[in-house]
Structure 1
Amino acid sequence: MAPVRAAKQALRRAIKVRVAALSAEEKRRQSLLVAQELFRHPKYVSSQRVAVFLSMNDEVCTQEIIKDMFKWGKSCFIPRYERSSSNMDMLKLNSLQDMESLPLTSWNIRQPAEDDNSREEALTSGGLDLILMPGLGFDRFGKRIGRGKGFYDTYLERCSKHPKGKPYTIALAFKEQLCQEIPVDANDVLIDEVLYESHQ
């Protein structure tokens, strides 16, 4: 798999350069457009249990989306990544205030603490209807390139074993993260859809 790995590394570097060139204002503008697109999406409207990432600076901002989920009474789940492995859990977020009080990781994103065992994990209860996916790059065939740790691929495998089955997956992207085609290997799980500006 070395050629695929090398191709992915080169692509990651190229995408990072493109996204780094975006101003804060432009990222905010595209993030709001993607959020509006999502709010009209039938899968989002009908989903009750939704997993969403807490965005980093080079990702579509998810704050408005999280606010909207609480407004409509959806159950909101957010990732807790384990640095030492590719394991990730989706834990229930109780409110916007709850989000503000989460500890910051070394990646500068908020997530429930390692010893916080009071939260519901999505797969130990009713599963998920929808996962909003982060990533570095996407193509129009549902291929995604992440940061190389495999957190989401591993989690989607776990989802497929849940009685509810694999949730629908929508990636949120800046149009600068769109690629012609992304090289994939056997472990890469395809996503159902990518939302970005001008996506019709």
Structure 2
Amino acid sequence: MSALRAAKTALRTEVKRRVAALEPEEKRRQSQLLAQKLFKHPKYVSSQRIAVFLSMEDEVCTQEIIEDVFRCGKSCFIPRYESSSSHMDMLKMDSLQDMDTLPRTSWNIRQPAGEDESREEALSAGGLDLILMPGLGFDLCGRRLGRGKGFYDSYLERCSRHPKGRPYTLGLAFREQLCSQIPVGDHDVLIDEVLYEDQ
């Protein structure tokens, strides 16, 4: 294993341990605080086409954010991962009710079925204005520690080739997910900003 991979693996273990120690009430509190921060963020306010991840247990909860995207009449796109590769698309959701009917993956995340071709894919249409980024860890230079599959890195690479250009990328992080420095390689794409408590 390369030194970079070893460093990332060690850091993933450490951050997972810190987040696992968080009480559910504290996760909820930080998630609500970040949602309120986001709603005032100029990039969020001005964005019409927004990609949002459907959060897992160890991530900032995005439910309130998704509700607000629909309430504000913005377009909401969510990821569809292909588990056999690092390919991911962002597909449009029509409503909160639409989202509740989606099948769950082996990771227990809701996403449109592989054979569902009826939805608008963000990059084949008007692109995206803003992507809210999940991650296990973040540092304040825009480096992000993912789960090792490279879904978002390869997606951002595709975004940069879209006529609209790359959307603004905003990581959502619990305070416990902040790291002094995250080891990155050539394929790791930096994000524009990390939103966390105590900024």
> How high is the TM-score relative to the length of structure 1?
0.99
2:118 is aligned with 1:118: yes
Partner of 2:163: 163
Distance 1:144 1:74 in 2: 26
Distance 2:130 2:49 in 1: 7
Structure 1 residue 15 displacement after superposition = 0.2
Distance 1:90 1:146 in 2: 17
Letter in 1 for 2:162: H
Distance 2:81 2:189 in 1: 18
> Residues 72-151 of structure 1: matches in 2 within 5 Å?
72-151=72-151
User: Secondary structure at 1:32's aligned position in 2?
Assistant: helix
Partner of 2:192: 192
Structure 1 residue 7 displacement after superposition = 0.2
> Residues 56-67 of structure 1: matches in 2 within 5 Å?
56-67=56-67
Distance 1:65 1:198 in 2: 19
User: Secondary structure at 1:141's aligned position in 2?
Assistant: coil
- Write the deviation string for residues 140-197 of structure 1: whole angstroms up to 9, x where unpaired: 0000000000000000000000000000000000000000000000000000000011
User: Secondary structure at 1:115's aligned position in 2?
Assistant: coil
Letter in 2 for 1:87: H
Letter in 2 for 1:36: Q
Distance 1:87 1:81 in 2: 6
Letter in 2 for 1:70: F
Distance 2:133 2:89 in 1: 14
2:21 is aligned with 1:32: no
Structure 1 residue 114 displacement after superposition = 0.5
Q: Quick one: percent identity of the two aligned structures?
A: 75
Partner of 2:182: 182
User: Secondary structure at 1:68's aligned position in 2?
Assistant: helix
- Write the deviation string for residues 52-110 of structure 1: whole angstroms up to 9, x where unpaired: 00000000000000000001000000000000000000000110000100001110110
User: Secondary structure at 1:97's aligned position in 2?
Assistant: helix
User: Secondary structure at 1:50's aligned position in 2?
Assistant: strand
Letter in 1 for 2:66: I
Distance 1:99 1:196 in 2: 26
Distance 1:110 1:17 in 2: 25
Structure 1 gaps of 5+ residues are: none
Distance 2:99 2:26 in 1: 25
Distance 2:75 2:175 in 1: 28
Structure 2 gaps of 5+ residues are: none
User: Secondary structure at 2:155's aligned position in 1?
Assistant: helix
Distance 2:24 2:101 in 1: 24
> How high is the TM-score relative to the length of structure 2?
0.99
